Structure 1
Amino acid sequence: MRVAGRLVGETLELLRAAAGPGVTTGRLDAIAEANIRDHGGIPSFKGYSHPPFPATICASVNDEVVHGIPGERVLAEGDVVSIDCGAIVEGWHGDAAITVPIGEVAPEVSELLRVTEESLWRGMAAAHLGGRVTDISHAVERYVRGQGRYGILEDYTGHGIGTEMHMAPNVPNFGRPGKGPTLVEGLALAVEPMVTLGSKETDLLEDDWTVATVDGSFAAHFEHTFTLTPEGAWVLTAVDGGAARLAELGVAFGGR
């Protein structure tokens, strides 16, 4: 899973660098597929579910929260694009997402991205062997609520991951701590807060995939796949395994 996760992380860094005014979401998708296949991986989103997802990445722009289908849409100054990416290597999955500002964005949008990404790390930092899944959920919600009036999606959650992309248990982004399955060694989770500048309510668009905010407010989505070892946390989709960011949060690094 670390091999698959690192490939996803490296692919997202390529896409972060490539995303800019005038670039289409389809171009980002082509870059992602080429990089994953060139490094021995298989795009895990392509052909997934029903109707089959037609692309390697999800590219969700502005008020689109998740599962946007890349294509001819041209990114413009002031947009944000949430890029979700998954890869399979030797039967094991990695899954992660980033939200990228396109050029200069409004200050409140920039802050939305910061809050959402930080809540992801705060959620992972709250996890420890013997704890419970909703310890993560509570830490995500507590951080977001402490930063202002934001909408936290409730109908879409993080998830277990391993030999399949979506496995039990679900990992909500809200809730009381101390609930749900116990965090044990060998359990890998994809934690993915989805936060909006307005309401938590969403609509599923006509393509049967794209999820957008009902009120048209901008949204952000960040995700990492991580696990716990006896030594500490290991962020499988971070290029450095999460070592630097975990150290800033005072969390032991459990990777290698």
Structure 2
Amino acid sequence: MNNIRKQVVISVLIMIIFSLTSCGPRFYVSEYDINLEHEEWADEIGLFSHKNLKVREYEAKSTGIRLELEYDNGVTGYKELCDVVNAHNKFVEENPDYFPNDFNVTFTNKHASEYSPSFFSNIRNGSNGLGYISELGREDSAKLLYMCISVDGDHTENKENADIHIDVPIVILQSYNESYTPKGEAYAFLKEFNNLEQVIIDFWEPGYDKDGVLDAIREYAPNAEIYEVKSVNREDHLEKCP
């Protein structure tokens, strides 16, 4: 009986510890955690100066920086995240010698629920699963080159808002829903991109209404080239849409 009671107590303690560690308060990165060589950059892009934006993770290596950002307060917080993205690209443009051109940069947009609807990056070597980016022939730069966004579901990121402005030249539209593809006004958020040059479609639904999707993209991003991700011998490649 004593052994059974001990086992019950131990099981309860394990459950309590698990509950505390999984549901306890999250600790965010502060400005004091930033490497000395990146302090100027963090200050200039306003990484820690926004009310509704927090840094969940900061990883700095000699080859690059990876940030995980979380915003509060809906569109207001999302705007702050986009402002930081734009500020980073402006900083790189104005300080071309601060980062090497082959410096990898990724900003991941992570909700408090752990859902990640989008990320921004300049990685072109396929280490993040997007090897086809290199086919666009872009020059190396520490500027954020593209935004990869899920068009599945209903979230702030894929709703058009006149207050949101995004300064990256490429957007990757992803949908892993094999039975549904967004249509029409679902692509209106493309108007938020300043000088959008290329749109990449990566949809899993077999036989989706490609013509309808292309028409919608061209309505909201009339000057952008459009590419579709195609699998060839189990490798993804880009095919330019007519």
Task: Flag the structure with higher helix content.
Answer: 2
Looking at both structures, which has the greater relative contact order when contacts are Cα pairs under 8 Å and sequence separation is at least 6? 1
Task: Decide: shared fold, TM above 0.5.
Answer: no
**Which protein shows a greater Rg?**
2
